[in-house]
Structures are given as C-alpha cells and as structure tokens.
Amino acid sequence: MNSVSTAQRSLGATFHNSKAEVVVWSPLSVTVEICLVKNAKCLPLTENEYGYWSLTTDELQPGDLYRFLLNGETERPDPASLSQPEGVHGASQALDLSNFKWTDHQWKNLPLEEYVMYELHTGTFTPEGTFAAIEAKLDYLKQLGVNAIEIMPVAQFPGSRNWGYDGVYPFAVQNSYGGARGLQQLVNACHQKGIAVVLDVVYNHMGPEGNYFSNYGPYFTDKYNTPWGQAINFDDAWCDGVRRYFIENALMWFRDFHIDALRMDAVHAIKDFSPTHILREIKQHVDQLMIETSRPHYLIVELDLNDTRFINPLDQQGYGMDAQWIDEFHHALRVTATGEQSGYYSDFTGIAHLAKTYRDAYVYDGQYSPHRNKRFGIKAEANPGKQFVVFTQNHDQVGNRMMGDRLGQLVSFEMQKLVAGAMLVSPYLPMLFMGEEYNEPNPFQYFVSHTDPELAEAVRKGRKKEFAHFHLEGEAPDPTAEETFQQSKLQWERVNQEPHATLFRYYQTLISLRKQHPALRHLNRQHLKVNVDEANKTLVLHRWHEDQHMLALMNFSTEPQHVPFDGFSGQWQKLLNSADTQWGGAVLSPEFVSSASSITLQPESFSLYTSHV
C-alpha cells in the first residue's frame, strides 16, 4: 500500500507552526522552484526520493499566490493547488484548510441504506450558482425528505460554466462557486440540518484546457486508449506518484471538507492492471482514515460493467466500493414508460426487464447483449440492496439527450407519478435529479466555457457526432453559448404553481412512506417478489419485513387494468394511489382490498397497499 499519511495532506502547500511545507512531484525535472507573486521571488526546492521536491519556508503565507518554475524555464500552477482565483491558467493560491471553524462535531454520517439522494449542479441549481445559494435551499430539501445531496464535480475548470467533468485541478474548488471556504461552509450547514454530502469526483481523466500535468511528470500513459485521450497513469512507469496524488485527493475531501461520500465518475474507464487496483488502494486508505476519525465515509462508483468485483468487500478480493450506480434500472424503466429503444436503449425490452432489475439488480448478468454484441455482466446475488443507486433521471440521462429534455417533457403527468413510485419503492438507494420533484420544464443541457476557440469548436463537433447513432434530426444546442447554460437553470417559482406543487407533495409523500415503513426502509433483496403481466403492462412488486407486507401495483398501459389479489392473503390498506383526486387524478381508489377481490388500476398509475400478516 502507498505510504500516504491519512492524518494530513502532504502534496502542494500546507501550513504547520507558521511555516509552509511545499511538496511537488516532478520526477523528470532537473530543478524546481516556487515563485511568489507578491515579491517575484523564486525559492529552490530540494530533490527527494521518487521524484518529489520539497521546501519548508516562512515566506509563503496563506492567501499568497505562487507558481512552480520547472528547469528554470517553465512556470506552471501547482498541480495540487487548493485554489485558482484567476482561473485554470493563473497562479495558485495557498490556503490553510485547517483553520475553518467546524460546528458539526455531533454529525456521524447516516447509514448508507438510509440515504435518499438528490443530485444537483451548483451552477444551475440556483440563480446565483454558488455554494451559499445551495445553503439557502437546504430547508426546501429537508422539507422534501432528502437527506443526502450529491454535488456534481467542483474541481476547478475553465471559465464559470461547466458540468465539472473538465476539471484540471482535482484539489482546487471552483472559484466561481465559492472556493474551498464556500464548500466547507456548505458541508457544515448540511450537517447541522442532518443532510449528508456526496461529492462527485473524476479520477478517470483530466480536462483539456489548463491541463499542465505533463509538464510535471508522467501523469498519463499511452498504454491505453480512453474516450478522452491518454489514460491516467495508474500502472505504468512512475505510476506510484500518480496513485499517491489521487489517494491523497480522496482523503482530503473526507478529512478536510468533512464530505460524507464520494461518487467516482465512470470507474470502468480507469485502466489499472496493478496487483492492487487503485480503487482498492483508495478504499484501504479510507478504511484507515475511518478508524482514526470514527466517522463513516462511503465510496460510490459509476460503473458500466455489471461486475461485482468493484463492490465486493476487500476480504473477498473485491475493490471494496460501497455502492454503484445502475443505469440498467433507469434504462428498463425508461423503455417501459416511453417505448423509446434507440441507442443503448435497444438492449431493453421494457417491463420484463424492469421486473428483472427489481429481482436481480443487473438486467444483463451473463446473457447476450445485442447492443454490445457479446455476453455481458455477472450475477449480483450476494450484494445487498444498499449497494445499488437507482434513479429515473440524472445529469447524464437528461443532459446527454440532444436537447437536454427531462423525462417530464416526454411523458404524461400520470406517468411521471408512476415512474417516481417505481423508483422510490425499489430495494435500492434512490436518487432524484434536481427539479424532477416538481417537474422542472427547463432542460439540462451540456455547457462549457472554454477560452480556446479551437477547443470550443471541437466540443461543438463532438456533440453533433455523439448523437448520430440516435438518428436524431436537428442541431444540438451550442455547448459554448451562455444561453445554453442559462436555460438549464431551475425555475424556482414553478414549485408553488400547479401541477408542480402537487407533484412536489406526491414526491414528499412517497419519500416519507419509504422512511416510515420497515418493508420499504429495509433493503432486503431476498424479501421481494415480482409479478409481471407483459401483455397488459402491469407489475406488482411485493416486499416485506417481519410481519409487514407491501404491494406496489403499477400499470404502465394507457388502459385500466384488473389485477386479482387472490395470491395475497389478508386485508390490504391503501397508503397511496397516484390516480386519486388529491394527486391530480380523476378517481378515488378503494381504501381496503381483500384477497378475495381484484383491483382496477387506472391508466399509467401507481398504488401502494400494506398489510400485517
């Protein structure tokens, strides 16, 4: 295991006893100096083992701007910079993260199985687009029932408009959002209100603009191809320094920012054939940190491989990730609700696959995938429900549509309520995408603010090419235009308008029911049965815990459907029916249903009944 201290960050500039400890990894440099902007003075660093250079000085103080001078000729920002107040090409700013006054000492993080997540993008969640503005909305999220926010990446990126996946300073918090202090304040405020914070981080590639890593050393390798060019060097010559860099980054978020969980972007694109995979090594260090701090921290991965090795425990030779996103639940639900089967949706048949993902988590767990033209996946029988994150929408599934249209723009109001119910009664961790709870009509489109004209044009062309396999007509919005960013912002006035207010109350009720009832709250995948009628497009999900049983009845068809209760003994009491008048429907469904009768499900409706046996 890499010799990384969990107690404190070592890379970049840190402060101890009024002195700065400066460390940079630059194994191929002959000389390295730190140049202070305030007096144009350059101080030489001492070469150490394995390509590290260091200096202890009292001439660098918190708030000072600095750059590194490599080989007496190349000035660059610090690759482990904590702040880039002048953007990705400007000087780095030294910060002392330890002097923030935390007041969250009573916070111990929530059990992962209790998470109800809400993904948001800092720049478009509020008109102001800042951490402070998110803080002002925490009471709203608390009222909704959310207890964990997932913030899209905040690592410094070019300009002020970006999804965050083009970050080039993984340790620096985006200056236009409020920087490191703003993020610490937001996390502190979340914890005061009982809300956990999940931060999206990108360890599979770096953005192109402001990417000066190769000036410092072999951060990248030509051994593998990735969608973004050269792969990050996790297993080639000099990889130890790169691995330490990312291990220290993960530890910093947990230790210095009190982040509760990391969502790690597209880990299937991480190329690493080392004896110890980088994800496993990160987990080992996080486990050590948790022993020292007595705070639980979670690692959640975006994974497109249906491979349980990533989420199996360390003692089973897995990588130890606590949970993963499963797009396949989304895809099966989306095809069931819309019938759309273009692109990667072509692998999904609809309601039969929705039933399978309730039972098996993965839809493809060893069978042939027509879209991939190969057998795909492995069974996840031993993995508990809390290891899978499900959603009806997320930044990818909305923003990577050509027009960025949300699900609410594609289906009826009744279907929106149905898919919300289908997701929130699953035996998995639910995640909402900002605005879905009230049917935000604005799209969420792809946007960047690159300052390099050639790069901006390449992004435009790349987006156009990306949609070719979906056979769509028209032109994608210009990702570089300010207008594309502005029209992706939430319209908060909609929350109090109809039918948005009704949908908000509906989500609120569903989340509350999930928390209140043991049969929904306990994510036991063994206590679950699914009955599906493909011809009539109905699905009955039966979940139970001890003596409490729950039936979720779903009708995805546009006609009323009759579902017999003869397979379910006892008397069942209604908890919710999306077709009832209080939810904007037209009927009142029966309060009680017995095993000797049947129930008529309204078109595109969701019903929830409970019984104690």
Distance from the Cα of residue 499 to its chain's centroid: 28
Q: Which long-range contacts (CB under 8 A, 24 or more apart) does 219-228 make?
A: 219/79, 219/245, 221/271, 223/271, 224/271, 226/269, 226/271, 227/269, 228/204, 228/269
Query: Alpha helix (H) ranges present in 136-201?
Result: 138-144, 179-192
Catalytic residue (one of 272, 302, 328, 604): 302
User: Which H or E run contains 399?
Assistant: helix 395-399
Cβ atoms of 238 and 301 within 8 Å: the answer is no
Q: Is 58 exposed, middle or buried (0-12, 13-18, 19+ CB in 10 A)?
A: exposed
Residue 354's identity, in one-letter code, is L
Q: Is 390 helix (H, G, I), strand (E, B) or coil?
A: strand
β-pairing verdict for 298-302 and 261-264: parallel
Residue length of the chain? 613
Rounded to 10°, the helix 327-338/351-360 angle is 150
The span from the CA of 10 to the CA of 317, in Å, is: 29
Neighbours of 312 (CB within 10 A): 18
β-pairing verdict for 261-264 and 368-369: unpaired
User: CA 481 → CA 460, 484, 487, 529, 605, distances in Å?
Assistant: 10, 5, 10, 49, 40
What tokens appear for 322 in the block? 């606590």
Cβ atoms of 177 and 122 within 8 Å: the answer is yes
What tokens appear for 358 in the block? 């309730």
Catalytic residue (one of 265, 281, 307, 396): 265
The span from the CA of 580 to the CA of 602, in Å, is: 9
Which segments of 288-353 are extended strands (E)?
A: 298-302, 323-325
User: CA 208 → CA 183, 205, 477, distances in Å?
Assistant: 24, 9, 21
- Half-sphere exposure of residue 99: CA atoms within 13 angstroms, side-chain side: 10
Active site residue 256: no
Q: Is 132 helix (H, G, I), strand (E, B) or coil?
A: helix
Active site residue 265: yes
Catalytic residue numbers, as ranges: 265, 302
